[in-house]
A and B are shown apart, each in its own frame.
Chain A
Amino acid sequence: DIQMTQSPSSLSASVGDRVTITCRASQSISSYLNWYQQKPGKAPNLLIYAASSLQSGVPSRFSGSGSGTDFTLTISNLQPEDFAAYYCQQSFIIPRTFGQGTKVQIK
C-alpha cells in the first residue's frame, strides 16, 4: 500500500494568514493526488483533484501543487470558514489511501 504522510498534524493560524500543508507519498503517484476538507460532524468535501485542479465551487484561495511524491495545499488569506481538517488522498492505486489529516485551528 502507498503511505501518505501529512505535515503538520495540526497548526494554529489567524484569519488572513497564508497556510501550507504538505503531503508526501511513499512512492511516486504522478499527479494522482486529491485534497479534501472536513468540518466537524460533516462529510469530507473535495477541494483539489489531480494535484492542482480546483473543484468547481471551491474558492480560489485554495491551491494545490506538486507531483511525484511531494505535494502542497495552500490556503491564502485564511477565512473563518476554513478552520477544519484537511486530508490528502492518492488515487494512483487501490487502496486509495488518505493522509492522517491536518487540523487547522484558530490562533
Chain B
Amino acid sequence: EVQLVESGGGLVQPGGSLRLSCAASGFTFSSYWMHWVRQAPGKGLVWVSRINSDGSTTSFADSVKGRFTISRDNAKNTLYLQMNSLRGEDTAVYYCARDRCSGGSCYFEYWGQGTLVTVSS
C-alpha cells in the first residue's frame, strides 16, 4: 500500500524556518518525481515545488522561490521541504504528492494527509 506521511509542521514566527518531511512507503520512492502542494485555511490548492527522481532537478512557485528548498533522500525514502524566511501567507496545510506520468499526461496519484504550518507571532 502506498503511503505518504508528512511531518514537521507547527507554529513558527515570521522570518523563521521549518523543515517538512514526507516519509514514503509501499513503492519504489527513487523512481518517482515528487511534489509539494499547499492549501491555506479555507482556500484552494496551490502547487509549491517539485523534484525529479534523483534529486538533480527542482522547480518552485514564484511565491516561494529563493526561500524554499526541496530535496530528497532516496536511501531514506523521504522528501523534504526546507522553508526559510517564512511569512504569514505561507500559513497552510502542506501536502506531498507522488507524480505519475502515463502517455505523456502527469497527475498526482497519491497524496499525504498533510501537515499544518502556521506562521504567526
Contact = CB atoms under 8 A, between A and B. Distances in A.
A8 interface: no
Contacts of A1: 62
A68 interface: no
Interface string B3-46: 00000000000000000000000000000000101000000111
B47 A32 contact: no
Contacts of B1: none
Contacts, number: 64
A71 B103 CA distance: 19
Contacts of B106: 32, 91, 96
Given A44-B108, A94-B50, A49 B102 contact: yes
B105 A96 contact: no
Nearest first, the 5 A-B pairs at minimum CB distance are A50-B105, A43-B111, A49-B107, A91-B106, A98-B45
